[in-house]
Amino acid sequence: MKHESLFQDIINKKTPENIIYQDTIVTAFKDINPKAPVHILIVPNIFISSLNEINEKNKDILAHMFSIAIKIAKQKKISKEGYKIIVNCNKNGGQEINYLHMHLLGGKKLNSLY
């Protein structure tokens, strides 16, 4: 299975991953390889390969992704102590899955690097 289709399967509820939040624009779910006690991925429901594909037509998706990350941080009670939001772009930027996604990490003191 290609990584891109894995995210689509989660969005379409074809796999058993634990969806934390879903609306018509984004889906948020637990990372299967967490780097922190709270590690949630937030993905757009439409395929966008990376940050480089953001344009005038779809730029509002990023704002919504951040808004949902903040909402989840509050629900998970990590907003007061602090959290990290990371978006990697392409291979050298650390993007392992060819599908735009945002990492929300928290629940412990995090290093300055991911």
Q: Per the residue annotation, which of 3, 39, 64, 101 is the catalytic one?
A: 101
103 is catalytic: no
Collapsing DSSP to helix, strand or coil, 46 comes out as: coil
- Measuring CA to CA, which residue among 19, 13, 22, 15 is closest to residue 1? 15
CA distance 102 to 40: 8
Residue 2 DSSP symbol: -
Starting at the edge strand found earlier in the chain, the sheet holding 26-30 runs: 19-22, 26-30, 38-44, 102-106, 83-86
**Catalytic center residues:** 101
